[in-house]
A and B are shown apart, each in its own frame.
Chain A
Amino acid sequence: MSLNLVVGHGGLFQFHHGVFYGVAAYTTALMLKKTSLPIWTGFMAGPIAAAIVGLVIGGFCVRLSRLYFGMLQISLGSLIWAIVFRWYSFTGGDDGISGIPMPSILSPLKNSYLFILILFFICMILMYMILKSPFGNTLRAIRDNPQRCEAIGLNVQQYQLIAIVIASFFAGIAGVLFVVLERSVYTELLFWTLSLEVFIMCLLGGWFTFIGPVLGATMMVILRTFVGIFTEYWTLILGIVLILLIFFLPEGIMGFLQEKLKPRIKDLSREIMN
């Protein structure tokens, strides 16, 4: 979802979105495990840390154009991964961190699911509001035509940076939710394949729609769970689906549905009007 904010609406090549997710998960995990601060501060620290990392990485990246933006992001993200991977004493290296304490309310699985669901909906609503706000509009304008935006008095790089920070923050919330669910973190969370996975989710669902990424994520999980039962090569099926998608539905599933439904809704409203 948050990735879609940057790529679909901001037109930036955010190749390494997972790193913000991972940073937040690690921050929360470390805060909960190694400090005796109240648990909620740990929850808060995750997204904030992600946003700060977003600010730093984004600050470097927005100065570059398009593809280089993505490349630099992958390298900077991988750097963070390498640090976490190597720094055994602090992050547990490739063992990760497990047995993270949780407040007792969240202990039953049902409660933690509920917590995640509620937060998910709050985030959805917030992001929806942001996309419908002048900021969202401006972001889409920048995606369509950055040069023109400069000419009407917009500091394009500043807007792109803010978009990245906001997206990192939301990715950070997702990272915290992962900790709530799994009670452990490991270095895969920071590895670039995860970013790729999120990227594919958005691709499946459709870039330019709001619900697209959610649909994409659902599809991906379904595919992994059900096809994964029959064969460990479920990614092969995913690959085929992706290729078909790129050829036949370049706007993603939601984009396709929207296009198909629009004329129908129009017809309907016309009939009602008549």
Chain B
Amino acid sequence: MLRVEAVEKSFDNFKAVNGANLTVKKGEIVAVIGPNGAGKTTLFNLITGVLKRDKGRILFKGEDISELPSYQINRKGISRSYQIVNIFPRLTVFGNVQVSVLSHQRKNLKLLTPAQNLAIKETRTILETVGLLEKDKTMAGSLSHGDQKILEIAIALGTQPELLILDEPTAGMSPEETYTTIELIKKLAYTQGLTILFCEHDMDLVFSIAQSIMVMRQGQTLLQGSPEEVKNNQEVQEAYLGGE
């Protein structure tokens, strides 16, 4: 579904991503791991068009998307959440997701119909899936950090993506919230058939849900393989898992 081929990106003279390769198959849960500064977030920014790659190709369903602006990439079916909470703090929880649903339905340009009558069913379904339905009228900015991270995912789901990219979905969460989030990710993948690409520091989480793991170091792909392969790989052991 998604193929990243030898992608490079530098900022000034620093090569943030220096030859990244990644394959995501339909219906898979794929994790990207690597130490801080390995280029995971940059890679996600390149895939979603926030940044433009210097070299290499990014293919989504066989089509080169590396030159498209991010709003068009989203319309192709890739949606993402952010590592640092990135929501609409002055809108309600409902409003946050509704904007996204309306964007998917191309209804944001309606000037004279009241918004409160539109996309209600879709929005409520998503809120129910992620478990935020009871808080739908709360201002997003006043939610707890954990709920804001969940809302992140809900906004991303609003555009009905085929590929969902999650940048450290459980960062800063309590163990309990982390557990809920893992269950949510599993639910999305297994019952809704979403393809999920995520990166995460929590190794237990990665090895418990990922079907394929890509290891990055200093902007480069070390390898991509099944959790077993990654665990047993000598180089990965030394580079990353070694201390544990």
Query: A: which residues have CB within 8 A of B?
Result: 126, 129-130, 132-138, 140-141, 143-145, 147-156, 159, 162, 166, 208
The 3 closest A-B pairs by CB, nearest first: A153-B74, A144-B88, A138-B108
A153 contacts B104, CB within 8 Å? yes
B74 contacts A133, CB within 8 Å? no
B37 on the interface (CB 8 Å rule)? Answer: no
Q: How many residues of B contact A (CB 8 A)?
A: 40
B115 contacts A134, CB within 8 Å? yes
Q: Which residues of A contact B112 (CB under 8 A)?
A: 126, 129-130, 133
Q: How far is the CA of A143 from the CA of B99 in the complex (A)?
A: 13
Query: B: which residues have CB within 8 A of A?
Result: 48, 50, 69-72, 74-75, 79-80, 82, 86-91, 95-96, 98-100, 102-104, 107-116, 118, 155-156, 158-159
B79 contacts A151, CB within 8 Å? yes
Interface of A is mostly: helix
Q: Which residues of A contact B116 (CB under 8 A)?
A: 132
Seed contacts A132-B115, A155-B71; 15 additional CB < 8 Å A-B pairs: A129-B114, A134-B109, A134-B118, A137-B91, A137-B115, A141-B91, A141-B96, A143-B90, A145-B87, A145-B89, A151-B79, A153-B103, A154-B71, A156-B71, A159-B108
Given contacts A133-B114, A133-B115, contact A154 B108 (CB under 8 A): yes
State which of A132, A138, A150, A156 has its C-beta within 8 Å of the C-beta of B99: A138
24 residue pairs from A and B, CB less than 8 Å apart: A129-B111, A129-B112, A130-B111, A132-B114, A133-B112, A136-B115, A137-B91, A138-B102, A141-B96, A141-B99, A148-B87, A149-B71, A150-B50, A150-B71, A151-B48, A151-B74, A151-B156, A152-B71, A152-B156, A152-B158, A153-B71, A155-B71, A156-B71, A166-B111
Given contacts A154-B71, A155-B71, contact A140 B88 (CB under 8 A): yes
